[in-house]
Structure 1
Amino acid sequence: MSAQPPVVQSQTASAPRSLGRALLWPAAAVALGFLLVFNSFGTSTDAKPPSRPVVSAPTVVQTPSAKAEEKGLALPPAEPKRLKIAEIAVDAPFTGLSLEESGQLEAPPANNSNLVGWYQEGVTPGEPGTSIIAGHVDTKTGPAVFMQLSELKRGSKVDISRKDGSVATFVVDSVEAFSKADFPNKRVYDHTPDPQVRLITCAGEYDKKAQDYTENLVVFAHLQAVKRP
């Protein structure tokens, strides 16, 4: 699969930073080996984008599935209900995201700055495999839920409360920024044998002409602990 993202027209022409070129899902993708391009609504066309994120680690550390099974960490499917990241004061509910006819993954509603979305036809957080979670870095009204996502580092904790009453705690392996022109789709989205999540938002400079950020920020994390009801 090519890492070069296709050009997709803006979903809402009137929005200064449209999410029309947000999350792209090619029809030929297998499991979670797909292309994702995430863009966000901004405060205004004159607003300055957030500063370039710092890469905290060069590679992703994966937890072998056997170890996860031995520790009883892998969970059955259950919808995520709330995302909490104490380190950056995130406490947000989830909304399910589906594919549009165009092949794009719906973006979280732009009128709610404290909301994250997850691909509801894929792996739920805590199941073996890669669960995809997306959030805005900003909206037309100001900073949004993932504005400080770049401040996470290796060892940071991410808690996800699930519909079955369990809480899955993930530990961050790396926080990395990738150019949208050279996005590592296979590395980010391929299925993993153990439970992992990817937290994704926009990063880099904001290109007013393209109405798009130049990069995506990706947080790689694996399941560390489970609190059962």
Structure 2
Amino acid sequence: MALSQPAPPDQPPSRPVPRVVSRALVWPAAAVGLGALLIHNSLAGSADPTPPAPPAAVAPPAAVASAKPQPNAPTRAARKGLSRSKPKRIVIPQIAVNAPFTRLSVGASGQLNAPPAKNPNLVGWYKDGASPGERGTSIVVGHVDTKTGPAVFVLLRTLRPGSKVDITRADGSVADFTVDSVETFSKASFPDARVYGNARTPQLRLITCGGNYNRRVHDYESNVVVFAHLDSIRRS
């Protein structure tokens, strides 16, 4: 898949699309990167043919929110990262998200399974990638809506650089992330390496559907991606 965006600063631009993530996971042979698994398949089919609009009180955001320098550098411990531990709960105060996690894996079809649509307040973590706070790129996905109405990430696109994302882990630590940028990508030209490339520092990607809704295929044409880095660590 052709890339429309350069690799992030913490990834050498000359490196090929990574085939291995944390703990030496080998990609399924039929996949063309995790982007092909997740973005084109996993969140499709659960949306209502007439998806709900975001609350009227929320102003439509720009398609791309560029990264801005953060006033405080990550702590030394944050740069080093945490040991592996599964995530338990995600809190994003700015958009009133407070939700538990479910673990996601790649199914027999070669596609990443989506979070169960029957629970709109649930996010999924790709369990074979880095855990949130661990060195590498941690992938967290959630529905923007389901057949019953708005879901957990309906307002994800309204986040801005500097927004906070807190993830409580099973080991009792809380990984505090700071948003670097919020961007919308067409599913037809999704930058797999930029979004999913295995990073040298603890990184987080929050992903949901976005853009126009195609009623013919019952799916959104784009995806919203939040890029964030581990800023600090504390105890719950």
Q: What TM bracket, shorter-length normalisation? A: 0.7 to 0.9
Specify which of 167, 173, 183 is matched with residue 176 of structure 1: 183
Specify which of 119, 124, 129 is matched with residue 117 of structure 1: 124
**Identical pairs, percent:** 54
Q: Is there any run of 5+ residues in structure 2 with no aligned partner, and where? A: 5-26
Equivalent residue number for residue 39 of structure 1: 43
User: How big is each residue's C-alpha offset from its partner over 1:8-58, in whole Å with a ceiling of 9 and x where there is no partner?
Assistant: xxxxxxxxxxxxxxxxx753769x76433153522x323455597524534
Equivalent residue number for residue 57 of structure 1: 65
Give the alignment's TM-score, normalised by structure 2. 0.77
Q: Is there any run of 5+ residues in structure 1 with no aligned partner, and where? A: 5-24
Taking the aligned partners of 2:234 and 2:31, their CA distance within structure 1 comes to 33
> Deviation above 4 Å: which 4+ runs of structure 1?
1-4, 48-53, 59-62
Taking the aligned partners of 2:158 and 2:201, their CA distance within structure 1 comes to 25
CA contact (8 A) 1:34 1:190 kept: no
Q: 1:60 to 1:188 in 2, by over 3 A?
A: farther
Equivalent residue number for residue 152 of structure 2: 145
Counterpart amino acid of 1:163?
A
Give the alignment's TM-score, normalised by structure 1. 0.79
Taking the aligned partners of 1:143 and 1:27, their CA distance within structure 2 comes to 35
Kindly report the root-mean-square deviation, in angstroms, between the aligned alpha carbons of the 2 structures.
Answer: 2.6
Specify which of 94, 97, 109 is matched with residue 102 of structure 1: 109
Task: State the Cα distance separating 1:210 from its structure 2 match.
Answer: 1.4
Task: State the Cα distance separating 1:205 from its structure 2 match.
Answer: 1.0
Q: 1:223 to 1:58 in 2, by over 3 A?
A: same
CA contact (8 A) 2:51 2:149 kept: no
Taking the aligned partners of 2:92 and 2:121, their CA distance within structure 1 comes to 13
Taking the TM superposition and a 5 Å limit, the aligned residue runs for 1:209-224 are 209-224=216-231
Q: Number of aligned pairs?
A: 202
Equivalent residue number for residue 192 of structure 2: 185
